[in-house]
Amino acid sequence: MKFLKEWIDERTNDDDIDFLDFNEFNNLEKIDKRVNGTLKKANWKNHNIIIVLKILNNLKIIENGFKEYFLKLKVLRKIDHSNINRFLGLTKDPNDNYFSVLEYANEGNLRDYLKINFNTLQWNVKLQMALDITRGLMFLHTEKVIHGNL
């Protein structure tokens, strides 16, 4: 068995997955702590966008498990749809923690947004949000990707 970081170090030369310099991110702010990791919001300095860093668990994994995970990352890297937050690449902080780098949703996660705003949203806005989510899911399904966190 190898550690996740060993697998990533071996595969980051792969052209399908970008390895991003952690020093390009600033103003890190923890936004959520989940069972499977921590989410941090940050600014990507040279690109003028806000991103999300999702920590990858550095547990020991078997080779087949990592290969499957890496194939998923390759698929996610190629997905380009206006209703889906993009996977941008991987990065490593100075403490050797690895993160996936994702596009940030303007208003944060949908659950928290709706918890705060649901009662004040007009029904046409709620309907448009539902249609946008449906379009994104339909696109994922045409790409043979299953969203496992709904």
Coil, strand, or helix at residue 42? Answer: strand
Which of 7 and 41 is assigned the larger pLDDT?
Answer: 41
In a domain, 119, yes or no: no
Alpha helices in the chain (DSSP H): 4-11, 63-78, 110-117, 123-142
Residue 72 maps to which CATH number? 3.30.200.20
In a domain, 150, yes or no: no
Average pLDDT of span 25-44: 82
In a domain, 39, yes or no: yes
Which pTM was predicted?
A: 0.79
Query: Each residue of 83-115: pLDDT tens digit?
Result: 998 999 989 899 888 888 999 987 778 888 899
Q: Which residues pair with 54 in a beta bridge?
A: 39, 100
| Residue 12: CB atoms within 10 Å | 15
Domain holding 94, by residue range, is: 2-105
Res. 1: pLDDT tops 50: no
Res. 60: pLDDT tops 60: no
In a domain, 145, yes or no: no
45 band by pLDDT with thresholds 50, 70 and 90: very high
Coil, strand, or helix at residue 10? Answer: helix
Query: Each residue of 64-89: pLDDT tens digit?
Result: 667 777 778 888 888 889 999 899 99
In a domain, 143, yes or no: no
In a domain, 92, yes or no: yes
Q: What is d(CA 42, CA 18) in angstroms, rounded to the nearest whole number? A: 18
Q: Which residues pair with 91 in a beta bridge?
A: 20, 99
Res. 17: pLDDT tops 50: yes
How many structural domains comprise the chain?
Answer: 1
In a domain, 138, yes or no: no
37 band by pLDDT with thresholds 50, 70 and 90: low
Coil, strand, or helix at residue 110? Answer: helix
Question: How confident is the prediction for the chain on average, in pLDDT?
Answer: 83
Average pLDDT of span 121-131: 96
